[in-house]
Amino acid sequence: MRPPALAPPAAAPTGPVPTHRLRGLPDEPPARRPVRSRADTEAEQLLRRTAQYLLRDVDGLARELVAMIREREPAYPATMGPEELRLEVRSSLESSVHTLLDPAGTWEAARLCSWQIGARRAQRELPLDALLHAFRLGGALVWRRLVDTATRREPDRAHLLLHSAAGIWSFVDEHSDLITQAYRLVESQTAREHRERARALVQSLLDGTTRISDLPTAAAALDLPERGRYVVAALAGPAGPPRHPAEAAATPADPPPGVRILRHRGSEGEHALVLLGDADPADVADCLGRRRGTRVGIGPVVEELAELGTARRAADIALRTCTADGDVALLNERLPAALVVSLPDFGAALVERALGPVLELDHQDRESMLTTLSVWLDSAGSAQRAGSRLFCHRNTVLNRLRRYEQLSGRSLNDPRNVVELSLALDAHRLLAA
């Protein structure tokens, strides 16, 4: 991934502030240049003279800091080579020492250097705390070298460096903040790119357009096995508001052990890619609803990622067999209903063939007849059980069944006619939904 073109936010330079930067608050007179004591001036001069010596030995400083980093921060060797580390350390040290010599003229370059280091280390996934620790090791090394050099070369004036200590550590804090900002920004961008890539991979798997040669890459990126027990679920929200306020607050159940669920919202609706492990498809139904009332269609189990496209299409068909909020449809348990929704034209023809005369009745008679036929089929053809469920006498059920036979000209003693009636009732319920 290319480093993003990031620019650090502007901030005031360390050291003396140019006159044109001295401004007061709105509606107040311009700020005056602060009064500087003789000790401050001598301290600045000593700091610059001492920094000149550090600049001449910046390679030695870099070698010492690299050794400290490699000893105290083991995360570095895992993310960058020794030469890359040496060059980065040298660049940072040289930029920092130049800032001691010319604060106003080099502060922008120094800030940019720190910003780019934070961005690069985020791209290499070096832990931020390791990066900040290394930067503070560099600050401590520069300060120690300044004190040692001043003590050795100008022992009578070395104490004046104390006047510069606050500014130097303020520089370290400011640049630590810059590094953190750059790191967080790149980290956020990288995470977004990873999410987008994962989304594209899941979409390709669900569409069935992933090339066989790309399956290992997709499996590694999504941390999924190429071969395993998978199902795809198609999800749809409630057709209306929740029946009770508590339904809106209901949360999905946790997945069973070993189950992973990847949700995906695409142009063709919302789906869930489910790695089942040893679980059954029915075990994950309660984990998929965003709230009670969500409809779920679950396709058959497949054995590898390459079959997810077929599994997704089957899940879409299963979802179309749901007509009530809260319904969960396992395709293998609804094959007749899946058949009629897959071939809606044939389903409509079957409705006309088996139910045409019934649908011409007035509303009350039509609904009474359709309900009786459905309950009778659900009662395994028992008029007694159907009557109990309909709160009427068994003879009432038998009378309605005979009336159906008279209207349709079809005998319910013929198993083929019963099969057609069952499919026609499914088609009428599903295609009219």
Q: Report which secondary-structure segment, H or E, holds 228.
A: strand 227-236
Residues for the chain: how many in total?
Answer: 433
What pLDDT score does 79 carry?
85
Q: What is the DSSP letter of 30?
A: P
Q: What distance in Å separates the CA atoms of residue 351 and residue 426, rounded to the nearest whole number?
A: 9
pLDDT of 192 over the 80 cut: yes
Q: What is the pLDDT of residue 295?
A: 87
Confidence at residue 433, expressed as pLDDT on a 0 to 100 scale: 60
Q: Is 27 left (phi over 0), alpha (psi -120 to 50) or beta?
A: left
- Pairing mode of beta strands 260-266, 269-275: antiparallel
DSSP helix/strand/coil, 91: helix
Q: What is the pLDDT of residues 72-125, one digit of tens each?
A: 998 888 888 899 999 999 999 999 999 999 988 998 999 999 999 999 999 999
**What's the average model confidence in pLDDT over 24-35?**
44
The C-alpha atoms of residue 176 and residue 110 are separated, in whole angstroms, by 12
Q: What is the pLDDT of residue 371?
A: 93
Please answer whether residues 61 and 45 qualify as being in contact, where contact means their C-beta atoms are separated by less than 8 angstroms.
no
- Could you give the residue ranges of the DSSP H alpha helices within 321-414? 335-342, 344-359, 363-378, 383-390, 394-408
**pLDDT at residue 35 tops 70:** no
pTM: 0.63
149-166 confidence digits (pLDDT tens): 999 999 999 999 998 899
Q: Which two tokens stand for residue 408?
A: 């349709």
d(Cα 433, Cα 429) in Å, to the nearest integer? 6
Crossing angle of the two packed helices 335-342 and 344-359, in degrees rounded to 10 = 100
Share above pLDDT 90 across residues of the chain, in percent, rounded to a whole number: 62
Handedness of CA 404, 407, 408, 413 (dihedral sign): positive
Q: What is the chain's mean pLDDT, rounded?
A: 85
Q: What is the reported pLDDT for 8?
A: 57
- Is the pLDDT assigned to residue 56 strictly greater than 90? yes
Radius of gyration of the chain (CA): 38
Q: What is the pLDDT of residues 270-323, one digit of tens each?
A: 999 999 988 888 888 777 754 556 889 999 999 999 999 999 999 999 999 987
Residue 202 CA to residue 137 CA, distance in Å, equals 44
